[in-house]
Amino acid sequence: MPPPPFPILFITATRIGDAVLSSGLIRRLSEEVPGARFTIVAGPAAAPLFEDVPGLEEIIRFEKSRDGGHWIRLWNQVRRRSWGLVVDLRGSAISGLLNRRKRAVYRRSPGVPVHKVIEAARVLGLQEDPPAPYIYVGEAAARKAAGLVAGEGPILAMGPAANWVGKTWPVERFAQVAIQLLGAGGPLEGGRLMVAGGPQDAGVLPTLRAVAPRGRFIDLVGKVDLVTLHAALGSARLFIGNDSGLMHLSAAAGAPTLGLFGPSDERLYAPWGPRGRVLRGARSLDQIRTLDPDLSQAICHMMDLSVESVVGAAKRLVLETG
C-alpha cells in the first residue's frame, strides 16, 4: 500500500543560481520522506527548473511587489492547506501563519561565510552531508536535449552573459578562448561550440558564431527551457562561464565547469562539486570593493582576467577530468 500523501511547501529563491544551489534539498526530501508531495514557490525565472520534480503538485510563481503584498498573496494561496512540512529558504514569517506539523526556516548564521549549498543544507540540519544540487529531468526534456547535442566531436559550452556588466567577461575574450581550445592542437580540437543563455543574451551570438567551424555551432540562447538546457549542458566536455545561473546549471549537470569570477564571492558561489573550478584575475573581491563598495557601478570588473589564464585553466581542467 502506498504511503499517505505528505504535503511539503518548499519556498525557494528568486534567482536561477540560488534555486539550483538549494535544489538538492528537494531530492533529499523526495527520497527520504514517504509520500512526499511538493508545492514549490519560486521566482518566475527559476520556477521552470522544478517542472519534472516527482510528486509535484503545484509550482507557484512568486513575483515580488514593492509594497510587500506578494507575501499576503502567497499566504492566501497556501493557507487553506494542512502542511506536513514548510521549508522556507527566504527566512520569512509565513510558516508561523500556516497550519503545519513541522517547519524549517532559513536563519542567517554568524561567522565565516559558507557556500550557499551548505547554507541551504543547514535549514534541514544537513550541513555535515549537504545535498549536491540536482535538477530532475523528465523523458521529454532528455529526448529534446539529446537531439540538440547529437553529432560528432566534444562540446565546449560557454555562458558569456551575467546579470550585471560588472561580472561579465568580454565576449571577445570568450571567442579567443574558443579559438584556442577548438583549433588545431587544442584539447578540444575539432569539437563543437555551444553557447547558452536567455533571450536577453542574443547579442553575444554573432561574435561567437563567427569563430565556430561551419556546422559546429549549437545555439541555445533563448531557445530552450531550463530543464532541457541543463540536460544539454550535461553533454559538454567543458563549460566556461561567468558567475551565473548557467554556471550552476552546468556544474549540477556534472560537466567540468570553469567559473570566471571578479566582483562576486567564490566562497559562496563557486561551482559545486569535484569537477568545478574557479578562476579570477589579479584582484581579490576586497580589492574590487575598494573601487565599487556597493558592487553596483556599470563598469566591468573582469578586465584583469586574461585570455591566457583562462585557456591555461581550461586545459588543466580538461586533463584533470579526462
C-beta atoms surrounding 196 within 10 Å: 29
Given a cut of 80, whether residue 68 has pLDDT beyond it is no
Given a cut of 90, whether residue 84 has pLDDT beyond it is yes
Domains within the chain, CATH numbers bracketed: 6-123 (3.40.50.2000), 142-320 (3.40.50.2000)
How far apart, in whole angstroms, are the C-alpha atoms of residue 131 and residue 59? Answer: 22
Using the 8-state DSSP alphabet, how is residue 119 labeled?
Answer: H
Given a cut of 90, whether residue 28 has pLDDT beyond it is yes
How far apart, in whole angstroms, are the C-alpha atoms of residue 222 and residue 34? Answer: 37
Map residue 189 onto helix, strand or coil.
coil
**pLDDT digit string, tens, across residues 85-114:** 999 999 999 999 999 999 999 999 888 899
**pLDDT digit string, tens, across residues 272-315:** 999 999 999 999 999 999 999 999 999 999 999 999 999 999 99
Find the Cα–Cα–Cα–Cα dihedral 260, 293, 163, 232, rounded to 10°.
Answer: 30
pLDDT value of position 49: 98
pLDDT value of position 221: 97
Asked if 211 and 175 count as a contact pair (C-beta separation under 8 A), the reply is: yes
